[in-house]
Chain A
Amino acid sequence: MMRYSLFIGCQIPARLPQYETAARAVFRELGVEQEDIRQFNCCGYPMRNVDKKAFLLSSVKNLALSEQAGLDMMVLCNCCFGALKNAEHTMAEQGQMQDEIREKLGETGFSYEGKTRIRHYLSVLYHEIGIENLKKHLSQTYNELNLAVQYGCHALRPGNVTEFDDPVNPSIFDSLVGATGAASVDWTNKLECCGAPLTGINDKLSADLLTRKVKEAVKAEADFFCTSCPYCQIQFDTGQEMIAAENPGSKPLASIVFPQLLGLSMNIDPHALGLESNRLDITRIKSYLSKE
C-alpha cells in the first residue's frame, strides 16, 4: 500500500480546486493513500525571489511535518515541488543560513533531519504505479487526440536538484499521456516556461511568453495543452482567457490538467474531475474517448 502526505500548496485550493478533487479521486482509484497534514503551509516558492530565509523556513517546516508523520510527500505543483526539493538540497549542506533555519524551526517545536522523500505525483504514477499497471485501470482511451504536454520548469530543472527526469530530454509525462491513448506532439518550446512567474511582476512579458507558447502548440497541431502544475494551468487557462478578453481576434487553446485527462479515461466521477470549472471549455475532449 502506497501512502504519502499530499502537498497541494496554495494555488490549487484557492484557484484550481478541480485539480485537487481530480487528483484525489485518481489516486484513490489507484490505491494510493493520501494523508492530509493540516499544518502544511506555503512551500516558500513565492517568497523565494526576495527573501531566502522566509522561503527556506516555509519549505523546511513542511518537510519537518511530513517527516514527523513518517511519510514521504506527494506534490501536485511543480513550483512547490521545485521549492521543496531546493530546500532539501540546500539543507543537506552546512552553513550559517542552515543553522539559522534549524534554530528557528526548533523554536517553533520542529526538527528536520532530511528523511522525507519529496515526490512529484507524475513520478509516483510513472515509477511506483507503472505504465502497464496504470493501463489496467483505464476503461476508455483517447483516439486521435493531440496534446501539447507542458512539463513545467520547476519540476525539470535544475535536474541535479529536482531529480525528476532527464532535464533536457524528458519522457515521463509523454509516456503517461501516451498511456491514455493520446499523442504527445513535438513542439518547439515544449520545455520552456509558461510565463506564470512574471504574472503580476511583468504582465506584458508574461503574456508574450504565453502567446508564443500557444502559437507553437497550435503550429504543432495540438488540440489542447496538458499540464501538471497549477501555475502552468492557470496561465494557460485564466491567462489565455485574459489575453482573449483584451484581443478579441486571438484563438485560445484550452488546457487540461493531467489528473482530469487520466480521470476521464478511468471513468471517474465527472463531479470530481470538474471539467466545467476550467475557464476555457475543455469538455469537448470527451468526444475523443472511445471504449476499449
Chain B
Amino acid sequence: MVFTVLLYASLTIFVLGLGYKAGTWFTRETGLTSGHYSPSKRLFSALAGIVSAIFSFKVIKLIEVFCLDILLQRKILKESISRWAMHMLIFWGFILLLLMHALGQIITASLFSGYEPTLNPYFFLRDLFGVIVLAGVVIACVRRFILKIPRLVTTGMDKYAIIMVAVIILSGFFLEGLKITSKTEFSNMVNNYAGLQGEQARALEAYWASENGLVSKEVNPPFEKDMLEQGEMLHQSYCAYCHSPAKSAFASFSVAKIISPVAAPLDRAGFVTIFWYLHFISCFAGLAYLPFSKMLHIFSTPASLLANAVMDEEKSKPENIATRQVMELDACTHCCTCSLYCSAMMGYEAKGNSYILPSEKIAPLKALAAGKNLDESETRAILEGIYLCTNCDRCTVVCPSGINLRQLWFNAREKLLGQGPVEPLILSQLSFARGLRRGQVPEETYFIPLEKAENAVSKKFKPLLESGRPIDLNISGSQKESSLILETTFSYCFGCQNCTTVCPVVGNYENPGEELGLLPHQIMSCLGLGLTETALGAKMLWDCLTCYQCQEHCPQKVKVTDILYELKYMAVKNMDKEVVENDYQAGGLK
C-alpha cells in the first residue's frame, strides 16, 4: 500500500517536474536575444526544427551523435579515461538495473519467459550491475575528494547526486544480504511453498545454512552429511526452481557473510523491512527529485548534444537558439572540464572570484534566467566573471555536454552589462571580441558600459584637467599617497616631447589635447611635479594602444608606456565609489 502510494506520488512529481523544467526551456531567456518570442512560438519552432532535422540528411548526424556521444560518450573519453570509466559505469549500470531489475516485471518478464529475480542469470546480473554502478561511484569519490582534480569544484548538488546513487545501490545490497541471512524470511518461504515439518524442515534449514548463507540458531555446524544430502534433495524439489544459489548474488552474499554474526538480532529487529523501505524510498525520492537535481542531465544533455549537432549559430532561428540556450543551462553536469582548460583560469587565481571559471557561471546564469534578483555583490561578481574571458572558445570545444558556451557568455554578458554595474575590465583588451561582434549589439546599448567604466575610473580626477585651473603645487596628502608609483623613470624626462610626436593616437587628432586630456609628455611632467591625480584624469591612458612607440623613442629611457600601465592600475584601484554606486542603482538589477 505504502509502496504503491509512494510509487505513484513520486512518478507524478517526476512527470510534473519534467514538464515544468521543459516548460522553462520555452519561457525563459538567458540574456540578450534578438527579439522576444512567445512560448507557443518557441515551442512550435522547436517542433518544426526537430521534424525537419529528422526528415533530412541531418538524421545521419543525429544517429552518429546518439551512438557515439550519448551511448558511448566519446566526448568524455577524449577528456579523461578515468572520468569516462566513471560515467560509463554509473550510466550503463544504472540503465541496466532500471530495465532488468526496477522494471523487471514489465520489461524483463515480457522478454524472457521464466524470469524470476532470484534465478540466474538475473540473480547474478542484478548484483553485477549494482557493483558496476558502485565502482563508478567510487571513482567519482576518488576524483572529487581524494585526487582533488584541480578546478573540479564540488557543490552541494554534486554531493547529493553521489550520495543518492550510493544509497540506492548500497541499500539494495544490504536488503538482499539481510534477506539471505533472515530466519524469518526463510520460515515464511518454507511455510508458503514447502509446508515441511520436523526433521525434513531441519534438513532443509541445515542445507540453506550451509550453502545459502542462512543464519539460524536451530541448526549449527558441523552438519551431518546425511542431513545435508536430504536437505539438498528437498531444496531441489521445493526451492531450486525459483532460487539459484545465493552465492551467485556475490555482492549481497558477501554482505550476508559480513553481517552473519549479528544477523539474528537484526532479523528480529525487522531490519529486512527497514532496508526494504530505505531501498524503495530512496529510489522514489531520487525519481521525484530528479527533474530538480543535476540528474536532469540524463534528459537535457542528450537533447543538448543532439540540438547542437544539427543547429547552426548563424542559420538557426533565433527563437530556437533562445530555447536551446535555456535547455543548455540544464544540460550542464558541473563536470568542470571547461574550467580545467579555461584560458582565463589564472585570472581566477589572481582575483579569487569563482565566477571567472566557466563551470561556476552556470548556476548564477540559471538564477538570472529564472528571473531571480541577485544582490549587488553577486551581480558584480558574475559580471566580472563573465567579462574576464579571453573568448578563446575552448570551453565550448571541450564541453562533453556539447553546450555552446561561447554564445551563452556573449548573450549573458550583454544582458548583464546592460543591467548597470560598472565593469573596469571593459577597458582592457578583453573587449576585442566584443568589438568584433558589435554589429550584434544594439547600437544604443553598445557604448553605455564603456562610458560608464571610463567615467568611474576618471571622473573624480577630471576637474583637475580643466583649462585655466591653476596648478596646485601644494600637493595634498592623497596626491602624495598615490604618487607612490612603481615606475619612477618619469623623473628623467626633460620635456623633448618625442613621446607625443611619435604617438599614433596623438597623431590621429587635429586637436589632440582636447580629445586626450593630457598628451604623453604632459603626463610625464605631471608625475614629475607630483600631480599624479591630475594624470589619472587623462583620457590618454585609456586611448593608449600600448604600442610602445613613446617608450622606444624616449632619449631619456623613460618607460612611458609602462608608466601609463601603472597609472591605469592606480585609476582602477581608486575607482570612484560614488559613481559606481550610482551607476549600479540607476541600472537596476532586473
**Could you tell me which A residues sit within 8 Å of B by CB distance?**
9-11, 13-15, 38-39, 41-42, 44-54, 57-58, 61, 79, 104, 107-109, 153-154, 156-159, 167-168, 189, 191-193, 195-203, 205-206, 208-209, 212, 231, 234, 238-239, 242, 245
Given A44-B346, A205-B505: A10 touches B390 (CB 8 Å cut-off): yes
Tell whether, in the assembled complex, residue A49 and residue B439 are in contact, meaning their CB atoms are under 8 Å apart. no
When distances are taken between beta carbons in the complex, the residues of chain A under 8 Å from B549 are 153, 157, 191-193
Max chain A Cβ within 10 angstroms of own Cβ: one of B346, B351, B433, B508 = B346
B542 within 8 A of A: yes
Stretch at the interface among B62-70, B249-257, B337-345: B337-345
| B424 touches which of A10, A50, A53, A231 (Cβ 8 Å) | A50
- A6 CB, min distance to chain B CBs, angstroms: 15
Taking CB as reference atom, which chain B residue is nearest A189? B504
CA A238 to CA B435, docked complex, whole Å = 11
Max chain B Cβ within 10 angstroms of own Cβ: one of A51, A104, A199 = A51
Tell whether, in the assembled complex, residue A52 and residue B569 are in contact, meaning their CB atoms are under 8 Å apart. yes
| B347 touches which of A11, A54, A195, A202 (Cβ 8 Å) | A54
Tell whether, in the assembled complex, residue B351 and residue A51 are in contact, meaning their CB atoms are under 8 Å apart. yes
| B388 touches which of A47, A157, A202 (Cβ 8 Å) | A47
B161 within 8 A of A: no
Tell whether, in the assembled complex, residue A104 and residue B434 are in contact, meaning their CB atoms are under 8 Å apart. no
| B346 touches which of A15, A57, A167, A209 (Cβ 8 Å) | A57
Tell whether, in the assembled complex, residue B547 and residue A157 are in contact, meaning their CB atoms are under 8 Å apart. yes
B430 within 8 A of A: yes
When distances are taken between beta carbons in the complex, the residues of chain A under 8 Å from B102 are none
Taking CB as reference atom, which chain A residue is nearest B548? A157
| B508 touches which of A197, A209, A231 (Cβ 8 Å) | A209
Given A49-B546, A108-B150: A41 touches B435 (CB 8 Å cut-off): no
| B432 touches which of A154, A157, A200 (Cβ 8 Å) | A200
When distances are taken between beta carbons in the complex, the residues of chain A under 8 Å from B542 are 201-202
Tell whether, in the assembled complex, residue B436 and residue A193 are in contact, meaning their CB atoms are under 8 Å apart. no
| A48 touches which of B343, B429, B434 (Cβ 8 Å) | B429
Tell whether, in the assembled complex, residue B351 and residue A54 are in contact, meaning their CB atoms are under 8 Å apart. yes
B298 within 8 A of A: no
Stretch at the interface among B204-212, B391-399, B463-471: B391-399
Taking CB as reference atom, which chain A residue is nearest B560? A158
- What are 16 A-B pairs at a CB distance below 8 A? A49-B428, A49-B546, A50-B425, A54-B347, A107-B349, A153-B546, A158-B561, A159-B552, A196-B432, A197-B429, A198-B545, A201-B431, A201-B435, A205-B543, A206-B435, A234-B436
CA A91 to CA B435, docked complex, whole Å = 32
Given A47-B347, A49-B568: A199 touches B545 (CB 8 Å cut-off): no
Q: Interface size for chain B: under 10, 10 to 19, 20 to 34, or 35 or more residues?
A: 35 or more
Taking CB as reference atom, which chain B residue is nearest A44? B346
Tell whether, in the assembled complex, residue A46 and residue B428 are in contact, meaning their CB atoms are under 8 Å apart. yes
When distances are taken between beta carbons in the complex, the residues of chain A under 8 Å from B553 are 168
Taking CB as reference atom, which chain B residue is nearest A213? B504
| B345 touches which of A10, A41, A46 (Cβ 8 Å) | A41
When distances are taken between beta carbons in the complex, the residues of chain B under 8 Å from A195 are 545
CA A154 to CA B406, docked complex, whole Å = 27
- A281 CB, min distance to chain B CBs, angstroms: 19
Taking CB as reference atom, which chain B residue is nearest A79? B429
B572 within 8 A of A: yes
Residues 533-559 of B contacting A (Cβ, < 8 Å): 542-543, 545-549, 551-553, 559
Query: Closest 4 interchain pairs by CB?
Result: A200-B435, A200-B431, A10-B392, A157-B548
When distances are taken between beta carbons in the complex, the residues of chain B under 8 Å from A54 are 346-347, 350-351, 388
Taking CB as reference atom, which chain A residue is nearest B551? A158
B170 within 8 A of A: no
What 0/1 pattern do residues 346 to 367 of B give for CB contact below 8 A with A? Answer: 1101110000000000000000
What 0/1 pattern do residues 559 to 570 of B give for CB contact below 8 A with A? Answer: 101000100110
* Chain B interface, DSSP helix/strand/loop, else mixed: helix
9 more CB-based (< 8 A) A-B contacts, given A47-B344, A192-B504:
A50-B568, A57-B347, A61-B346, A154-B547, A197-B429, A198-B543, A200-B435, A202-B542, A234-B436
Tell whether, in the assembled complex, residue B547 and residue A51 are in contact, meaning their CB atoms are under 8 Å apart. no
- B343 CB, min distance to chain A CBs, angstroms: 4
- A46 CB, min distance to chain B CBs, angstroms: 4
- A147 CB, min distance to chain B CBs, angstroms: 21
CA A194 to CA B504, docked complex, whole Å = 10
Tell whether, in the assembled complex, residue B342 and residue A209 are in contact, meaning their CB atoms are under 8 Å apart. no
When distances are taken between beta carbons in the complex, the residues of chain B under 8 Å from A15 are 433, 436
| B393 touches which of A13, A189, A242 (Cβ 8 Å) | A13
Max chain A Cβ within 10 angstroms of own Cβ: one of B351, B428, B569 = B428
B85 within 8 A of A: no
B450 within 8 A of A: yes
Given A49-B568, A108-B150: A209 touches B504 (CB 8 Å cut-off): yes
Tell whether, in the assembled complex, residue A42 and residue B433 are in contact, meaning their CB atoms are under 8 Å apart. no
CA A239 to CA B344, docked complex, whole Å = 25
CA A45 to CA B565, docked complex, whole Å = 12
Given A108-B349, A195-B545, A202-B543: A50 touches B436 (CB 8 Å cut-off): no
When distances are taken between beta carbons in the complex, the residues of chain A under 8 Å from B397 are 13
| A14 touches which of B393, B504, B572 (Cβ 8 Å) | B393
Tell whether, in the assembled complex, residue A48 and residue B431 are in contact, meaning their CB atoms are under 8 Å apart. no
Tell whether, in the assembled complex, residue B547 and residue A53 are in contact, meaning their CB atoms are under 8 Å apart. no
B74 within 8 A of A: no
Given A13-B394, A199-B431, A242-B439: A48 touches B565 (CB 8 Å cut-off): yes
B427 within 8 A of A: yes
Tell whether, in the assembled complex, residue A200 and residue B547 are in contact, meaning their CB atoms are under 8 Å apart. no
When distances are taken between beta carbons in the complex, the residues of chain B under 8 Å from A157 are 547-549, 551-552
Taking CB as reference atom, which chain A residue is nearest B546? A197
B438 within 8 A of A: yes
Taking CB as reference atom, which chain B residue is nearest A153? B547
- A248 CB, min distance to chain B CBs, angstroms: 15
Max chain B Cβ within 10 angstroms of own Cβ: one of A46, A193, A238, A245 = A46
CA A102 to CA B448, docked complex, whole Å = 38
Tell whether, in the assembled complex, residue A41 and residue B393 are in contact, meaning their CB atoms are under 8 Å apart. no
CA A159 to CA B150, docked complex, whole Å = 38
Given A47-B430, A51-B350: A42 touches B392 (CB 8 Å cut-off): yes
Taking CB as reference atom, which chain B residue is nearest A40? B343
When distances are taken between beta carbons in the complex, the residues of chain B under 8 Å from A79 are 429
Residues 405-463 of B contacting A (Cβ, < 8 Å): 406, 424-436, 438-439, 450
| A238 touches which of B349, B431, B436, B559 (Cβ 8 Å) | B436
CA A189 to CA B549, docked complex, whole Å = 12
CA A234 to CA B568, docked complex, whole Å = 26
Tell whether, in the assembled complex, residue A49 and residue B427 are in contact, meaning their CB atoms are under 8 Å apart. yes
Taking CB as reference atom, which chain B residue is nearest A14? B393
Given A46-B390, A50-B428, A50-B569: A104 touches B349 (CB 8 Å cut-off): yes
CA A118 to CA B450, docked complex, whole Å = 34
Tell whether, in the assembled complex, residue B347 and residue A231 are in contact, meaning their CB atoms are under 8 Å apart. no
When distances are taken between beta carbons in the complex, the residues of chain A under 8 Å from B548 are 153-154, 156-158
When distances are taken between beta carbons in the complex, the residues of chain B under 8 Å from A199 are 431-432, 435-436
